[in-house]
């Protein structure tokens, strides 16, 4: 059995045993998302820094004692987590900070950080004896769930907006999921999925509802700490849609402090697109709740006007003394090009939004020269080629003839 002790509502603080509620707080409804808490003394016995040094399991499951899966045989063999953390002197120098670390989570099996959550979601579905799992998604959560469900032999039902990027939809189909292309936006897909899940009794993998998924995502923050030998960075930047990823960073650093691996929490900086920035708006206007809006941005994964995990997202920013930044679509495309050219890491629009936020804060003089900064790249650039093409431009059409080549190269002044 896992070391989970209870689930605690982020709004009212009521606690529940695992068998008392599957998803959110029965008292607070959908807004009352639950924190998964552990017997930290027990975790300390099973998870030690020394043990991790000798542990050759370089996946997120190296943190098994502080993950909520009851039966280890429910873990699928797809290798998830332990993605690279690159140190970029070039970016540190360019933006006047001490160190910049890029966490490339597009390197996960289906190409996004969401794999960390899906790996746990599928294992929990099996823990609960389910044979069907469902979710709504802007695309990445769905493609990862489809992949893990396929390996686990679970049936999967997926609800995505009909204009989700073709690569993400193709991933779903190739894994054999039953895919509903909802005529509407992510909020419409979410609402339909919730109704269907209720009606058919499928296991719910919606990350803003199911408390266990965030536990999978938190391994990204734990890895950053471990890869920096437990000397956590001063700031961590990440894109914000539903608010699960940013909340998972907070939970990672919270848990690490609880077990005595680290002694401080980095400032967590959430980044949204200017066209859809409800969490940014709530922080800037000092509100207790996030007001839902209808927005629009090129970064489809964070085109989320009604962030389900708003309460945890606000807590992550406020309790870590962090901040929110909003960037334009233009700045996101610039960030995509620059990150690829400076570090070799090619992220999708939402994937590089954290980097765009870092650039903006640096250029506004809001970062200090002695700061160490980590930036999470949450999804792979090949997920959304249409947007990438906007940032990348066109190739040069040339006849299979050296004279034409010479002419074309002279036109661009490259030879
Ligand atoms: C690539 C990428 N980045 C960031 C996010 C935002 O994560 P969250 O919805 O947990 O805030 C998503 C969510 O779909 C995503 O796919
Ligand atoms: Zn509650």
Share of the chain above pLDDT 70, in %: 100
CA 31 to centroid of ligand 2, rounded, Å: 8
Share of the chain above pLDDT 90, in %: 97
- Residue 368 and residue 375: Cα distance in Å, rounded? 16
**Amino acid 22: pLDDT:** 85
Contact in structure between 301 and 272 (CB atoms under 8 Å): no
pLDDT (tens digit, 9 = 90+) per residue, 62-100?
999 999 999 999 999 999 999 999 999 999 999 999 999
Please indicate whether residue 141, judged by its CB atom, sits closer than 6 Å to ligand 1: yes
Closest ligand to C-alpha of residue 351 is 1
CA 244 to centroid of ligand 1, rounded, Å: 8
Structure tokens at 403: 């004279």
Residue ID of nearest Cα to ligand 1 atom 12: 301
3-state secondary structure (DSSP) of residue 235: strand
Give Cα 226 to chain centroid, integer Å: 18
Entry pTM: 0.97
CA 136 to centroid of ligand 1, rounded, Å: 13
pLDDT for 271 beyond 80: yes
Structure tokens at 300: 């489809």
Please indicate whether residue 279, judged by its CB atom, sits closer than 6 Å to ligand 1: no
Question: Mean pLDDT across the chain, nearest whole number?
Answer: 96
Contact in structure between 122 and 100 (CB atoms under 8 Å): no
**Architecture in CATH of 85-108+212-392:** 3-Layer(aba) Sandwich (3.40)
CA 305 to centroid of ligand 1, rounded, Å: 13
Q: DSSP letters of 323-361? A: EEEEE-HHHHHHHHHHHHHHHS--B-HHHHHHHHHHHHH
Q: Which atom of ligand 1 is nearest to the CA of 112?
A: 1
CA 413 to centroid of ligand 1, rounded, Å: 40
- Residue 196 and residue 201: Cα distance in Å, rounded? 8
Please indicate whether residue 140, judged by its CB atom, sits closer than 6 Å to ligand 1: yes
Best of 141, 239, 240 for a ligand 1 pocket test (most atoms within 8 Å of beta carbon) = 239
Q: Which atom of ligand 1 is nearest to the CA of 114?
A: 16
**Amino acid 197: pLDDT:** 95
CA 51 to centroid of ligand 1, rounded, Å: 32
Please indicate whether residue 245, judged by its CB atom, sits closer than 6 Å to ligand 1: yes
pLDDT (tens digit, 9 = 90+) per residue, 312-362?
999 999 999 999 999 999 999 999 999 999 999 999 999 999 999 999 999
- Residue 408 and residue 415: Cα distance in Å, rounded? 9
Residue ID of nearest Cα to ligand 1 atom 6: 241
- Residue 333 and residue 387: Cα distance in Å, rounded? 8
Confidence of residue 415 (pLDDT cuts 50, 70, 90): low
Please indicate whether residue 348, judged by its CB atom, sits closer than 6 Å to ligand 1: yes
* Mean pLDDT value across residues 253-271: 98
CA 412 to centroid of ligand 1, rounded, Å: 38
Contact in structure between 292 and 219 (CB atoms under 8 Å): no
pLDDT (tens digit, 9 = 90+) per residue, 134-186?
999 989 999 999 999 999 999 999 999 999 999 999 999 999 999 999 999 99
Q: Which atom of ligand 1 is nearest to the CA of 313?
A: 11
Please indicate whether residue 118, judged by its CB atom, sits closer than 6 Å to ligand 1: no
- Residue 237 and residue 248: Cα distance in Å, rounded? 12
């Amino acid at each position: 059995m896992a070391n989970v002790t209870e689930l605690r509502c982020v709004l009212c603080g009521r606690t529940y045993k695992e068998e008392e509620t599957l998803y959110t707080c029965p008292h607070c409804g959908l807004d009352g998302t639950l924190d998964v808490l552990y017997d930290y003394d027990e975790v300390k016995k099973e998870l030690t820094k020394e043990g991790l040094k000798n542990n050759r399991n370089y996946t997120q499951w190296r943190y098994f004692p502080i993950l909520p899966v009851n039966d280890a045989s429910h873990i699928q063999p797809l290798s998830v987590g332990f993605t690279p953390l690159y140190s970029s002197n070039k970016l540190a120098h360019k933006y006047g900070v001490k160190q910049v670390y890029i966490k490339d989570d597009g390197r996960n099996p289906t190409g996004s950080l969401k794999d960390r959550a899906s790996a746990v979601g599928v294992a929990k579905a099996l823990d609960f004896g389910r044979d069907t799992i469902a979710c709504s998604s802007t695309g990445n959560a769905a493609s990862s769930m489809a992949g893990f469900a396929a390996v686990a032999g679970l049936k999967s039902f997926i609800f995505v907006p009909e204009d989700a990027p073709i690569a993400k939809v193709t991933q779903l189909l190739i894994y054999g999921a039953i895919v509903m292309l909802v005529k509407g936006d992510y909020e419409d897909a979410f609402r339909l999925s919730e109704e269907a899940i209720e009606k058919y009794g499928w296991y719910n993998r919606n990350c803003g509802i199911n408390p266990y998924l965030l536990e999978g995502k938190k391994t990204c923050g734990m890895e950053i700490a471990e890869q920096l030998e437990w000397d956590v960075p001063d700031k961590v930047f990440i894109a914000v849609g539903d608010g699960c990823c940013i909340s998972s960073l907070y939970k990672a650093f919270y848990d690490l402090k609880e077990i005595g691996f680290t002694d401080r929490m980095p400032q967590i900086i959430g980044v949204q697109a200017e066209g859809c920035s409800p969490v940014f708006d709530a922080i800037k206007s000092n509100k207790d709740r996030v007001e839902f809006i209808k927005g629009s941005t090129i970064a489809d994964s964070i085109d989320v006007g009604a962030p389900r995990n708003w309460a945890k997202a606000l807590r992550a920013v406020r309790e870590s003394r962090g901040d929110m930044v909003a960037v334009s679509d233009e700045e996101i495309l610039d960030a995509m090009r620059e990150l690829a050219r400076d570090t070799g890491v090619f992220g999708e629009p939402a994937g590089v939004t954290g980097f765009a936020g870092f650039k903006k804060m640096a250029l506004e003089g809001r970062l200090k020269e002695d700061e160490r900064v980590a930036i999470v790249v949450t999804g792979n650039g090949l997920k959304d080629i249409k947007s990438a093409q906007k940032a990348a431009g066109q190739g040069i059409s040339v006849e299979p003839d050296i004279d034409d080549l010479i002419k074309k190269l002279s036109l661009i002044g490259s030879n």
